[in-house]
Amino acid sequence: MWRRTDDPDELREWMVAEQIEARGIRDSRVLAAMREVPRHRFVPESMVRSAYDDSALPIGGGQTISQPYMVALMTEALRLDPDKRVLEVGTGSGYQAAVASRLCCEVWSVERVRELAETARAALTDLDVHNVRVIVGDGSRGLAEQAPFDAIVVTAATERVPPALFEQLADGGRLVVPVGSIRGIQTLFVYERRGEQIDRTASVGCRFVPLIEDDAERDDG
């Protein structure tokens, strides 16, 4: 058992060992990314001491930074490799994008709350993450001008997966999204495109903030 300290590097090791590896995440590249990305740099100052806790945390705008295990699980389910292009729907803090950026060619992330997008851009820039592009807009529409994507991850819950996301998924691509009641427990589903067919596999129960579809003003940063 890891002894808790205030050192973020030690806390990150403890987080990966106790919260992630112990729950069955096996992809060595995902584990390495979770060890490398400083989660405390993506939370509000008031939340820094809780950054490596086994829970989601509020980041403002009614949004959260996901539980570390859920970030690792969703990232592993994407099956990323260095030549893949990723679409993230719901930038939030920018943490999920930062983790994915270590494993793929580029990440395009869409966030409807301008203040969160700006904060995420700043955090990513401070950490010299150069292969993530944060866009302000309605992520439920995807990002057609950059499609197709090899992987799409949705960090908010929806009762119905937006059709645009299936349309923008490359052949062989994987879409990871929590589906179900936005007021209760959802199920994390993994969709995989095989030509015109899309296969669906259920993963785990989860709870995410709702995906909001609106006419958010577009800003490419």
Query: Which of these is catalytic: 28, 46, 55, 66?
Result: 66
The residues pairing with 34 across neighbouring beta strands, listed in sequence order, are none
Q: Are strands 149-154 and 85-89 parallel, antiparallel or unpaired?
A: parallel
Return the SS3 of 129.
coil
Is 66 among the residues known to form the active site?
yes
Name the DSSP letter for residue 48.
G
Strands in 197-206's sheet, in edge-to-edge order, are 132-136, 106-111, 85-89, 149-154, 169-180, 186-194, 197-206
How does DSSP assign 148-177, residue by residue? -EEEEEE-SBBSS--HHHHHTEEEEEEEEE
- From the DSSP assignment, how many helices (H) and strands (E) are in the chain? 6, 9
Cα(84)–Cα(86) distance, rounded to whole angstroms?
A: 7
Q: Of 63, 73, 86, which is closest to residue 208 (Cα–Cα)? A: 63
Point out the residues that are catalytic: 66
